[in-house]
Structure 1
């Protein structure tokens, strides 16, 4: 006979950070978590903004709790989309595990509060980009939807048709869309803009992206010098480029930007402010009614003049969209993908016999760990 183990309890609560519509578990993942040996408690109303109802969680086997405190109090693990707020941290039992996108470089207060509570906290942003962790890669799953939604938001704000249309009354020209930064979000933006019928160009400092851009039917634009050929980290991220390269690239794209109808910027560097890709002078060359969507606005923005949560209208009539949390605008799908990421991550807490026995030397858990034993575990997060 297999040994009988106590089922570790996962709590899921409402997101209490401003404008967060996603949820950290869905009825689908609740059912699978329970089947794999967990019990799940869900605060009532947690999934409402993502179109998941309490009755569906209950039908999947979850216990419903009236309050966050009730849900969290006896839980071994807390699943969140964003970092828990003070009242949730206060409700944690000592040594409880917290799994969320913690924004640890910026939200130091939450990190310190989790450490003070003796919580073992994992930042899903730090899951390494290795083969066995692909199913846990929240940055990719959410960026994919952000890139899609950026194009939809741009198309709505643009006020003209995106595809070329030939009619008896004349021809409507296709919109010109320029994607700056070709990671997961950028590639999805290219694919979405192409599906809508736009003429798409894209740029990135990583040479490996050229083939990807062209495979999607877009044209690649970059200064392809020696620095460009070595502009990618082993983890697949873009390196910050030298001022000299940035000047050459800016010169190349300046004339290009002036001809574009829509520009979407997606460049992020982990733990650093977003690099500035579009200057005020470049914005000033754009046509009236043209649109810029800054996906990096929550980390300072790629576009000079971008304002978080606002649409900035420039003197020349261009619009800069500083929309936060684009994945949250497709909350049902974003939640479904994120919840599957967390479900896969939770599997690392169980040993081969199904017992709750996290191996903190596992390379994935070790990379994502940010607080344990009353301390912040990564030195770069303490400064």
Structure 2
């Protein structure tokens, strides 16, 4: 079976779906690997690195024509789908719940598509979970970006000219990104507080040194390991509980996303107007509408002296590490789906069932 690795075309994207090391492992497992020219150049992987492991480097059209399985990170776009035919299997993050037109176009092509963002949050799928591997890096980069944008340092520092108080960091959402943000900010010496709709995250946050801001969440539950959309009553309680910390914070990092839905607004314009002059908000949910009311994806907005930075793909700024982790996830996923390089199509198996969105032109998941 021939697996085609495509160059990412999403604006600003620097990652690649398969690295030379993982290409080597797939080849050892019996697959043939085709790589589009320049696919790994922004992640510091040269075409010659792929050739050295016996992958074949070809022009884009050849990879589309010969690849039986086509791999990407971001969703296949309109130009990609013009080159896809019904014999092919597509694997990428499709975000199928919020991209119905994309899924319909794939179905119209008669192709098959698996969505990496639909990997279920179960223990045996952990080594395939691209959202966790990439969000881990996003949490780290959010703190580093915040440190760069702030006009203060993180740690307590005692100098001959006086003592510098540590910065205060507030983190909304204690998932993978939030936990890594807590750990990174603590290592840099900040005073860290965190909040989440899921009460079960309290112990995790505190184990990393953060103060957990408790909110009465009776009736609020998580779904499939993700936070579900909060009720209006809970959102009001959260604002009241968090406001004191929010208004004192030097850096705020928001990470709350709900799969297939608009991101919840956690910081309103009214709250922003009461924040410290010079505070920075890093909104990792900006691509899905943002956790801050005024956020715009890939834009920096300054209002009332508060700098709001909307971003969602920070892993691209550490593309070598991000590509390596994504590639390992993909390798484990492909090995799970196949036996002796042939797809098993076991629709009774949970991972296969949850991630197979389109099968031979038939839409299975909406």
Give the TM-score range, shorter chain: over 0.9
Q: Please give the root-mean-square deviation of Cα atoms over the aligned residues, in Å.
A: 1.3
> What SS does the corresponding residue of 2:3 show, helix, strand or coil?
strand
Residue 362 of structure 2 is matched in structure 1 by 375
Count of residues in Structure 1 that have an aligned counterpart in Structure 2: 365
- Corresponding residue number in structure 1 for 2:113: 121
How far is 1:350 from its partner? 2.2
* Unaligned stretches of 5+ residues in structure 2: none
Task: Find the aligned partners of 1:170 and 1:39 in 2 and give their Cα distance.
Answer: 64
The answer as to whether partners of 2:256 and 2:263 remain within 8 angstroms in 1 is: yes
* Shift in alpha-carbon separation, 1:85–1:239, aligned structure 2, 3 A: closer
In the alignment, the residues of structure 1 paired with residue 283 and residue 201 of structure 2 have an alpha-carbon distance, to the nearest angstrom, of: 20
Deviation per residue, 1:172-214 (Å, 9 max, x gap): 1111000000000000000000011100000001111100011
Mean Cα displacement is larger for which, 45-54 or 237-246? 237-246
Distance of aligned partners of 1:225 and 1:267 in 2 relative to their CA distance in 1, 3 Å threshold: closer
What stretches of structure 1 move > 4 A for 4+ residues in a row?
A: none
TM superposition shift of 1:10: 0.3
Alignment correspondent of 2:195: 203
SS across alignment from 1:40 = strand
- Mapped to 2, the partners of 1:207 and 1:264 lie a distance apart of 19
How big is each residue's C-alpha offset from its partner over 1:58-113, in whole Å with a ceiling of 9 and x where there is no partner?
11110010x21111212110010112233332323422111101122333333222
Q: Distance in 2 between matches of 1:324 and 1:220?
A: 24
What TM-score do the two structures reach when normalised by structure 1? 0.92
> For residue 333 of structure 1, what is the aligned residue in structure 2?
321
**Kept in 2: contact 1:264–1:295 (CA 8 A):** yes
Equivalent residue in structure 1 for 2:284, among 295, 303, 322: 295
- Alignment of 1:136 with 2:128, yes or no, is yes
Q: TM-score, normalised by structure 2?
A: 0.97
The partner residue of 2:23 within 13, 26, 30 is 30
The structure-2 alpha-carbon separation of the partners of 1:324 and 1:240, relative to structure 1 and needing over 3 Å to count, comes to closer
Find the counterpart in structure 2 of residue 155 from structure 1. Answer: 147
Give the CA deviation at 1:232.
Answer: 2.2
- Return 5+ residue gaps in structure 1 as ranges: 1-7
Which one of the candidate residues 3, 12, 29 is aligned to 1:19? 12
Partners of 2:333 and 2:127 lie apart in 1 by 8
**Preserved contact between residue 216 and residue 237 of structure 2 (Cα < 8 Å):** no
